[in-house]
Each structure stands twice: as structure tokens, then as C-alpha cells.
Amino acid sequence: MGFRFRNSYFAIAVAFLLGAVPQAVKSQTMEERLQRGDAVVRSLNNGAPQPTLERMRQEFPFLATATQGYALGDVWSRPGLDNRTRQLAAVAVFAAMGEAAFMKIHAGYALNIGVSEGELKEIIYMVTVPAGFPRAIKASQALSELFAERRAASAKQP
Amino acid sequence: MGFRFRNSYFAIAVAFLLGAVPQAVKSQTMEERLQRGDAVVRSLNNGAPQPTLERMRQEFPFLATATQGYALGDVWSRPGLDNRTRQLAAVAVFAAMGEAAFMKIHAGYALNIGVSEGELKEIIYMVTVPAGFPRAIKASQALSELFAERRAASAKQP
Amino acid sequence: MGFRFRNSYFAIAVAFLLGAVPQAVKSQTMEERLQRGDAVVRSLNNGAPQPTLERMRQEFPFLATATQGYALGDVWSRPGLDNRTRQLAAVAVFAAMGEAAFMKIHAGYALNIGVSEGELKEIIYMVTVPAGFPRAIKASQALSELFAERRAASAKQP
Amino acid sequence: MGFRFRNSYFAIAVAFLLGAVPQAVKSQTMEERLQRGDAVVRSLNNGAPQPTLERMRQEFPFLATATQGYALGDVWSRPGLDNRTRQLAAVAVFAAMGEAAFMKIHAGYALNIGVSEGELKEIIYMVTVPAGFPRAIKASQALSELFAERRAASAKQP
Amino acid sequence: MGFRFRNSYFAIAVAFLLGAVPQAVKSQTMEERLQRGDAVVRSLNNGAPQPTLERMRQEFPFLATATQGYALGDVWSRPGLDNRTRQLAAVAVFAAMGEAAFMKIHAGYALNIGVSEGELKEIIYMVTVPAGFPRAIKASQALSELFAERRAASAKQP
Amino acid sequence: MGFRFRNSYFAIAVAFLLGAVPQAVKSQTMEERLQRGDAVVRSLNNGAPQPTLERMRQEFPFLATATQGYALGDVWSRPGLDNRTRQLAAVAVFAAMGEAAFMKIHAGYALNIGVSEGELKEIIYMVTVPAGFPRAIKASQALSELFAERRAASAKQP
């Protein structure tokens, strides 16, 4: 039921198309991509693995691999955008989609890499314009939780 | 059918609540907000008014005033976020919502204030993760149009 | 990082554009808009402030001000639509967007201003057509909660 | 591959459940529902059939029958909500979902049954709050087209 | 406020339109459709009624009747698509819309009619492409709950 | 601006995590994934490349590579779901999201691998339940176009 090369014509066509992809990219292995994805998670998450991702490994291994290899290893590691901008844009998109739990995770990453609470608030204010007030208010509630958790955690430390 | 203060209790409660809003904000007039909104549009649009906004003035005056006074004058003029980050986040949200025409307008603003074509592409690549490939591909098609229009316009200039 | 008038040309252009906005609107202050927004909330909420809005004041002051000044003070206070129709249409939109918590708040407002439980049910039945059954069923569950809370509250009163 | 009653237990359970549905509803035939749906369309559309619906009859007969029998015959004909309110709420939902073509059809029905252009504008202004500015602006553009078409049509009449 | 035949012209037009609908469909009564809907639910739900549907009967009778008569009796009972494919496509749509609770119900039906856990996982993996990673991850969490509940239930049986 | 391994602790952690991924997957190169993606496209598209994908290669190379390597090479080539079911589920999701252009492309692929016009219609009928009538009607219009194009193309052949 899968797909297979049907004839040698395909092999030739593919070889041609692949000509546009640099050699360094073509020879990249999944192992390298997974390592890069892991490095991204740890850079964003204070050196720790991401619990949501780890929980998926046993039961949804392809989804875990795709999140780590594609979403984090391929996309989130790209050099053309600084990490602050990428995190703030991602927070805006998750808020606009009504995905408050994912927004909270990525807002936490943003704080970890030096984005201020004030900048996160500004991003949520901005979301009222393209996506309306309910999505911004829901996001503000998730941010309030995040800020409170951070304060509680830092209060515990000596 | 509108709303009116029902008794003096309200006036007192409002006075109390308003205590939290700084005096400078409270005395702001609509005229000041509209001027600020107009300044924002012109900063983003090479000094020109925004055609979509202008077309609404005759038939949808409140929507034009709200876009200029609230969306641009109140939100987009806030100082806590730099313009590049706000534009890139807005482009991401419009792309994720499938609103390619609005994305194109705001991507054009981004170019006007110094965002590179490469940064806009990176934002669209990022959108595949939270919102899927169709929304990113649609956005890439609108960006291609925008880039082509810009090149055609600059080719005409002496 | 904000926006400023770049030259006197802008001031003139703005003066021209503002010609289309009636003087009464232009001289409206934020204080007046906030008062109007507060009056709207209390008209809808049996004279009480709105808890979700109040919780935002400390940590998300701009979002609270925008909700009160723009959403309630500018939009919800407009005279061209009766309050029953606006509430029923808002309930339909929140249901269609899957925002059951906001739907419940606005359905409660609708009951407060004399909309019947039966009319709210009809609005939810209608939502199956544009937005499908899951959104309508989710909304019906939130309405059931609201109706039960109202009955419990009125049972407690002597 | 369809479903069938597996045993007589089902028939008894169904008979019990159906006890809650009034006899008048239970004996309603599809023919009656389609006639009611057709009457709704013509009431909204100045006595004419609806072109989008008619085009579906040949190639998508079930979708045409479901639109006429369920959406129009069952839902839109219900007596518990006046037609003006239902049309205005539907216009709000279509606008909020970004479905401008359907919004335009239902805004046209609204005009046909006596809703004013001003009321339609107010509904669109309201949509900025739950669903953001792009959806409201897109809807305003579709309304502008509708208003222009109506004026052009009435200018042709002697 | 409802709709009524305004004149005999309508009756004739309807008679004409109905010519396209087969006689067997036209004479179908609501009772027959409800029975078919009930049979569909029980086929999918191991012979038991559906709790969400049953809870709506008292307070939202039309929504319950529409779910049973239209969604299940008319749509879900159609013979042109096998039940496995319909359930897997429905699971994909609920996941893509972010409606995890409905996805879980329909994934449970899928298991009941012989779809494997592995096939449900593949459908969720596929959803990353059209709708992005958050919707797929949310769906995977709901599937994990479902799988755990099934294992717990079968562990209790002797 | 990118991410880098910060210390050897990471390398060890990654090595541990990667233990869960089979060796065959880990050593997969991008070149292999791109070839697999190309084979998938050609299997679905009668041996031809996909025009939308090809147009992206020049200006959005990462998006083209991600579509080919991840969406097609990783996801669409997975063996756990037959191609018919995957295409029908994808058609349902694109329809429910209102992405008629993508739905049309994938409905065309479905026809190419032997799905019947009737099955595609049934999928669209199903979409009325989770996502409402407008999305299903829009999808039916795109399907009508596709069916007409196929008939026109086959009429030209001798």
C-alpha cells in the first residue's frame, strides 16, 4: 500500500530535482535532525527535555519524531530568524488559534530566552486586531497562570 | 436602545475604577487617537494612506474609525514592541488564519520598514508547524505576488 | 520605537481626513468611552462589574481598557442595533467559534435583558447549519450549565 | 455496509425513545420538509429559488436535499425566533467564519425581509469584537458589493 | 413569524422541484429517520445509546432530534461509503478542528467497528500536514486517554 | 542565532533518547526522504510532478523541501494506512478547513488512484455534520469544477 519507485524514469527525474538542494542538506541524516531538535528544545527549556514531547514517545513515536526532527530540528533551528522573534510570532499564532496550552509552553520558552513579560503582553494586545478579543483574553489568562507559576517557583529558591 | 447611567451609584463606581487608568490616557480624545492611527499607517505605508481603509470611510465610517483609532492608533502605536517584531508576528497570524490578502498588506508594510524578504520567508516556514502546510503555502503564494510587484515597481523607476 | 508625525504634511492630511468624523466623536475622551463601557457592562450584568474584565485590570491593563473602551464603550453601546439582537448574534458567533466560555457569559447577559431560554436554544439550533453539530452541541452544554446555575441561584432566594 | 436493526430489543428501545418526540413531528414526511424548505427560500428570496441550491441538485442531490430539508425546512422554518434576528445572527456567523460569499447571500435575504442596510453594518461592526478586524473588513467589502448590486438593479426599473 | 406557503404558485413549483427526489425518499417519515439514526448509534456504540445525545433530549430536543435524524439517520447511514472510512475521515476532521472531545467519541466508535489503534494513530499523524502540530498533539492526547480507558475496562472483565 | 549543543551532557541525553528510534530510521538521509516524497507525488499525480510544489522551489526552497521531504516523504508514504483512506480523510479535512483549492488537488489525486466520484461526494456530505453546510457547499463547487475538467480532458483524447 506504500509508494515505490515505479521505473527508472523516476530515479532520473528525482536526481534532476534534487540538483536544486545543496549537498549538505541532502546527506543530512535523521539522527542529525533529531539531535538538532533536541538541542533546540533544551535551548528553549533551560536544558531540560519537553514533557509533552516525552509523553508522546511511547505511544505516538512518529509524532514525537516529527515534532523533534521536523518542527524543532528543521524549522525552529533555522538561522534566518532570531529566536526572540520566532517565539513571539509563535505565541501570537497559538493565541490567535485559541490554543492556549501551546501558547503557554511557547511563552515559557520566550521567557527562558530573555523575552520580557511586557513583550508577551504586547503580543497578546496585538492579537485583538487580527483575531478578536476572546482569543486575546483567553491567552491573557494562560499568561497570568504562567507568570504566577514562575513567581511561585522563584520564591521557593533560596 | 443604547445604554445610560441608571443612577449615581454607577457614576461613583466608574470614578473608582477609572482611578487605575493614568490621567494622560483618560483625557485622550478620539481626535488624538485618529491622528496617531494615521501616523502609524503612513509610517508603514511610505507616507501614503491605506487604500482598503480609505474605501471604507464612506460606507462603513465606524469600521474605518475603529481601524484607525483602535487597531492602528491604540494598538499598533504602542511603544513596548518594536515595529519589526509586531509586523512579523502579524504576518504569521494572518497567514495562520488563512487571510492571505491581509497578510500581503502587512508583509508589504514589513518590507517598507526594513524587514527583509528572507525574514518574511522564515516566518512563513514557521507557520507550517502551528497551522499546517496549506496555510503556509497560500501565504507563500501571496508573498510571491508581493515580491514580484515590488520588483516590477522598482524596475519602472529611473 | 513608536510612531510620530514626521512632518507637517501629515498634520494637514490628518486634518483633512478628520473632516469626515463628526465633531462630537472627535472630542470624545477616553474617560467618556470608559464610562460608557462601564455602563454597558452594568446594563447587561444586573448592575455588577464583569469578573473576567476586572481580573485583567492589574496584569493586562491595556486589554482591560480596550475591552471596556472599545468593545463595550464604542461597539456594544452603538444605538443602531437593539440589545437583544446584538446579544443573540454575539452568542451565535461565540458558539460558532467554539468559544463556549464567552458564549456562556453573553448568554447570561441576554437572559438579564429579557431574552428567553427558548430564544437562546433557537440560536444554538441555527448554528448547526453554518458551523456544524459539534460547535452547537458544545454550546448547548454551556447553556445547560448556565440555566442550572440560574435555577440554583433563584432557588436560594427567599 | 449500512446499518440495520440487529434485533427486536432495538425496536423496543427506539419506540421508547421516540415517546419523547411529538406525534406530529414523527409522522412528518421528507416531502413535507422539502416543501417547507422551499417556502423558506422563496420567503427570503423574493419568491425565487436560490441559484446555489439549484446548481447542486444535479450533481450533489443529497446535499441539495439536506440544505432544503434540514437547513431550511427544519431549522430556518422554526417559529421560536423571528426571521430578522435569525438572518442577522447568521450574517454575523458567516462573517466571523470568513465565509463572505455565504454572508452576502444571507445579507441579501435580510434586506428582502426588511432589515435595513444600517442594521447589517452594525452587525459587521460587532463582529470586530469576537472575530477581529480582517473578518469584519472582508464582510464589509461583500456588503458594499451587495448594496451596489441592489442600487444598480433598482436603477434599471422604470 | 414562521414561513407559510403564500400562494398556490409555490405549491406547483415545489411539486416540480420534488420531481427530482425519488418517491421512496419523499415519503420517508421522521419516525423512520429517527429509527435509522438510533440503529447507527447502536451499531457504532456496541448496542448502547450515546450519552451526550441522551443528555440533550430533555433540554435541547430539536438538537437531539437533528443529531439523530439528520446527522446519524440521514448522513451516517448512507451506503456509499464504508463505515471504517467514514469514521477515520470524521476523526481527522474533529482533530483538525481542535474538537478533541468529539474526536474521542468517534475514535471510540472506530475501535468498536474494528479499526485498529494503529490506524487511528496514522490518521492523527496525517493531520499534522493540513492542520499543524498542535491539533495533532491534542488529538494524540485524547487518543491516549481513550486507549487507556479501553485497557482499564477490558482488564476489569473476567 | 541558531542552536548549538551547549555541553557534552546534551550529547549523552540525546544518545539516550535516540535509543528509542530504530537504526533504519536514524540513518535515513534527506536525499532518501526527498526521493520517497517525489515517488508519492508521482504515484498520486499520474507520474507527473505537482505544479504548486514545483512553483515553490525557486523562491521558497525550504517550504518545497519540507512539503516533499516531510509531508509527502515522511507522512504520506507511511504504510499503516491505505492510500484511498488517507486521500479521503485529507479531502474531508481540507473541505472542513475551507481550503477548497487544496481539497481539489487531493480529490484529483483520489480519482487518480481509483476513488470514485461517488465516494468523494459522500465525504463532502459527511462534512456537513462536523463543519457545517457552507464548507460542504464550497467543497461541492470545487468538486464540480474538478469533475468537469476531467470530463473535458478525457473528451479530447482520441
- DSSP lists the bridge partners of residue A29 as F29
Average pLDDT score over residue span E112-128? 98
Q: What pLDDT score was predicted for residue E50?
A: 92
| Structural domain total, chain C | 2
Indicate the range of A23-37, A83-97, C83-97, E87-101 predicted with least confidence: A23-37
Is F67 within 8 Å of B125 when comparing Cβ atoms?
Answer: no
Provide the grid cell at B28: 485622550
Q: Residues 96 to 115 of C: which have CB under 8 A from any A CB?
A: 97-99, 101-102
Which residues of D fall within a CB distance of 8 Å from B55? Answer: 144
What H or E segment, with its residue span, contains residue B9? Answer: helix B8-18
Q: Which of B78, B109, B137 is the last residue of a domain?
A: B78
Q: Which of A78, A113, A146 is the last residue of a domain?
A: A78
Flag whether E20 is in a domain. no
Most confident of C24-38, C117-131, F23-37: C117-131
pLDDT band at residue D27 using 50, 70 and 90 as cut-offs:
confident
Flag whether D17 is in a domain. no
**D40 at C interface, C-beta within 8 A:** no
Of E62, E67, E101, the CB nearest to C133: E67
Distance CA D149, CA D156 (A): 11
Please state the ipTM of this predicted complex.
0.87
Of F52, F62, F98, the CB nearest to B137: F52
The reply to whether D43 and D96 lie within a common domain is: no
Across chain B, which has 158 residues, the per-10-residue mean pLDDT values are 41 47 78 95 95 94 97 96 97 98 98 98 98 98 98 86
Q: Which of E78, E111, E142 is the last residue of a domain?
A: E78
* Residue E129 belongs to domain spanning: 82-158
User: Grid cell 461597539 — which residue?
Assistant: C75
Cα distance from A121 to chain E (closest Cα, Å)? 22
**F142 at D interface, C-beta within 8 A:** no
The reply to whether A98 and A72 lie within a common domain is: no
Distance CA B34, CA B36 (A): 5
CB pairs under 8 A between D and F: 41
Chain D interface mutation, best of E6, E10, E14, E40, highest count of D Cβ atoms under 10 Å: E14
Of E78, E94, E122, the CB nearest to F80: E122
Average pLDDT score over residue span C27-56? 93
Return the amino acid letter for D94.
F
Residue C7 has pLDDT above 60, yes or no: no
Flag whether C149 is in a domain. yes
Is B102 within 8 Å of A78 when comparing Cβ atoms?
Answer: no
The reply to whether B41 and B53 lie within a common domain is: yes
Cα distance from A86 to chain C (closest Cα, Å)? 19
HEC profile of chain D: CCCCCCCHHHHHHHHHHHCCCCHHHHCCEHHHHHHHHHHHHHHHCCCCCCHHHHHHHHHCHHHHHHHHHHHHHHHHCCCCCCHHHHHHHHHHHHHHCCCHHHHHHHHHHHHHCCCCHHHHHHHHHHHHHHHCHHHHHHHHHHHHHHHHHHHHHHHHCC
Distance CA A144, CA E96 (A): 27
Distance CA D140, CA D134 (A): 10
Angle (nearest 5°) at CA B88 between B84 and B94: 145
Q: What pLDDT score was predicted for residue A90?
A: 98
pLDDT digits (tens, 9 = 90+) for D141-154: 999 999 999 999 99
Provide the grid cell at D42: 422563496
pLDDT band at residue C8 using 50, 70 and 90 as cut-offs:
very low
DSSP secondary structure letters along chain E: ------SHHHHHHHHHHHTTS-HHHHT-BHHHHHHHHHHHHHHHTTTSPPHHHHHHHHH-HHHHHHIIIIIIIIIIT-TTS-HHHHHHHHHHHHHHTT-HHHHHHHHHHHHHTT--HHHHHHHHHHHHHHH-HHHHHHHHHHHHHHHHHHHHHHHH--
What H or E segment, with its residue span, contains residue A139? Answer: helix A133-156
Is E94 within 8 Å of F130 when comparing Cβ atoms?
Answer: yes
C144 → chain E, closest CA residue: E59
**A134 at E interface, C-beta within 8 A:** no
DSSP secondary structure letters along B56-118: HHHH-HHHHHHIIIIIIIIIIT-TTS-HHHHHHHHHHHHHHTT-HHHHHHHHHHHHHTT--HH
What's the whole-number average pLDDT of chain F? 88
Instruction: Let me know: does B67 contact B56? Beta carbons within 8 Å.
Output: yes
Residue E105 has pLDDT above 90, yes or no: yes
Residue C55 has pLDDT above 70, yes or no: yes
> In terms of Cα–Cα distance, which of B86, B121, C68, B120 is closest to A127?
B86
The reply to whether B128 and B71 lie within a common domain is: no
Which residues of D fall within a CB distance of 8 Å from F128? Answer: 63, 66
**D125 at C interface, C-beta within 8 A:** yes
The reply to whether E71 and E89 lie within a common domain is: no
Q: What pLDDT score was predicted for residue D20?
A: 57
Chain E interface mutation, best of F122, F124, F128, highest count of E Cβ atoms under 10 Å: F122
Average pLDDT score over residue span E9-29? 59
Flag whether A13 is in a domain. no
pLDDT digits (tens, 9 = 90+) for A10-66: 444 444 444 556 677 777 899 999 999 999 999 999 999 999 999 999 999 999 999
The reply to whether F43 and F97 lie within a common domain is: no
CATH number of the domain at C94, please. Answer: 1.20.1290.10
Which residues of A fall within a CB distance of 8 Å from F28? Answer: 29-30
Average pLDDT score over residue span D14-31? 67
Q: What pLDDT score was predicted for residue C24?
A: 72
Average pLDDT score over residue span A102-124? 98
Is D63 within 8 Å of F144 when comparing Cβ atoms?
Answer: no
Instruction: Let me know: does A21 contact F34? Beta carbons within 8 Å.
Output: yes
User: Grid cell 423512520 — which residue?
Assistant: E32
The reply to whether B74 and B106 lie within a common domain is: no
Flag whether C37 is in a domain. yes
What's the whole-number average pLDDT of chain C? 88
pLDDT digits (tens, 9 = 90+) for F68-91: 999 999 999 999 999 999 999 999
- Neighbours of A, requiring at least 3 CB pairs below 8 Å, are B, C, D, E, F
The reply to whether F99 and F154 lie within a common domain is: yes
Flag whether E52 is in a domain. yes
More confident residue, C68 or D5: C68
The reply to whether E41 and E88 lie within a common domain is: no
Distance CA E123, CA B134 (A): 17
> In terms of Cα–Cα distance, which of B41, B36, B44 is closest to B54?
B41
pLDDT digits (tens, 9 = 90+) for F93-119: 999 999 999 999 999 999 999 999 999
Distance CA C95, CA C129 (A): 12
The reply to whether C53 and C70 lie within a common domain is: yes
Instruction: Let me know: does D110 contact C111? Beta carbons within 8 Å.
Output: no
Flag whether E16 is in a domain. no
Is D89 within 8 Å of C94 when comparing Cβ atoms?
Answer: no
Q: What pLDDT score was predicted for residue D21?
A: 67
Q: What pLDDT score was predicted for residue D158?
A: 64
Q: What pLDDT score was predicted for residue D8?
A: 42
Q: What pLDDT score was predicted for residue A158?
A: 64
pLDDT band at residue F21 using 50, 70 and 90 as cut-offs:
low
Q: What pLDDT score was predicted for residue C47?
A: 95
Q: What pLDDT score was predicted for residue A85?
A: 98
Cα distance from D7 to chain B (closest Cα, Å)? 45
Flag whether D16 is in a domain. no
Of B3, B47, B49, the CB nearest to C40: B3
The reply to whether A86 and A74 lie within a common domain is: no
More confident residue, E2 or B23: B23
Distance CA B95, CA B103 (A): 6
Of D55, D66, D99, the CB nearest to F134: D99
Is D66 within 8 Å of F133 when comparing Cβ atoms?
Answer: yes
Provide the grid cell at A22: 545543496
Residue D5 has pLDDT above 70, yes or no: no
More confident residue, C23 or F129: F129
> In terms of Cα–Cα distance, which of D40, B155, D111 is closest to E2?
D40
Average pLDDT score over residue span E113-123? 98
Distance CA C105, CA C91 (A): 9
**B67 at D interface, C-beta within 8 A:** yes
The reply to whether B158 and B88 lie within a common domain is: yes
C129 → chain E, closest CA residue: E66
Is C133 within 8 Å of F129 when comparing Cβ atoms?
Answer: yes
Residue C13 has pLDDT above 50, yes or no: no
Angle (nearest 5°) at CA D131 between C79 and E142: 140
Provide the grid cell at F96: 472542513
pLDDT band at residue F7 using 50, 70 and 90 as cut-offs:
very low
DSSP secondary structure letters along F64-84: HHHIIIIIIIIIIT-TTS-HH
